[in-house]
Amino acid sequence: MALHFGKRENEINKPLSNNLNTPRYGSGASTPGASASPVSTPEPAAPVPPASIASEAPEGGSKLTVGPNIKLKGVEITDCDTLVVEGLVEATMDSRVIQIAQQGEFKGSAEIDIAEIRGVFDGNLTVRQKMVIYATGKVTGKIRYGKVVIEEGGQLSGDIECSVAGAKASPKQASMALAA
């Protein structure tokens, strides 16, 4: 069922060939027989929240957001492209992207492609591609990553290992990657 707003019943099925050269998006020009009100412009997109990495996150993929003051405990999260944590999550998961907000906390085990951490992660974390720990982020536990970026003030502690393209890095390489 299609909804048509601003059209009269008899104009819904009219061919659009008469309107091909009509300026659009609020130019104020109108075609003969059309209503005098200008075509409305589309609403601008909402600003991207700081916790998102829209360029790397899959578009139209499945996304689970655990909002503030929500506790999700004892679950296994599967088939989720992006997990956004603003509350508390105690789980195991395999996902593409995890975003932990400043007030968010994740405890458990996660295997993911990309991690953005502004809050707390505690447990086993395997990041296949890139992990970003922001100034307010704290990551503890058994950590494996491909690439890491740590803002000044961000914390990373525990059993930490850099795995470059599936091959194990030497301890010297892992130390150099942390210093970068």
- The pLDDT tens digits for 26-50 are 444 444 444 444 444 444 444 444 4
Please state, for a pLDDT cut of 90, what percent of the chain lies above it: 54
CA gyration radius, the chain:
24
61 band by pLDDT with thresholds 50, 70 and 90: confident
Residue 95 pairs in a beta bridge with 80
CA-nearest of 39, 36, 32 to 14 is 32
**75 pLDDT more than 60:** yes
The pLDDT assigned to 22 comes to 43
152: pLDDT strictly greater than 90: yes
- Residue ranges per domain, the chain? 63-179
Q: What is the mean pLDDT of residues 100-127?
A: 97
Nearest CA-CA partner of 100 in 81, 82, 120:
120
Residue at 9: amino acid letter: E
What does the pLDDT average to over 46-70?
Answer: 64
3-state secondary structure of 16: helix
Q: What residue has token string 């906390």?
A: 105
CA distance linking residue 79 with residue 18, whole number of Å: 47
Q: What is the mean pLDDT of the chain?
A: 74
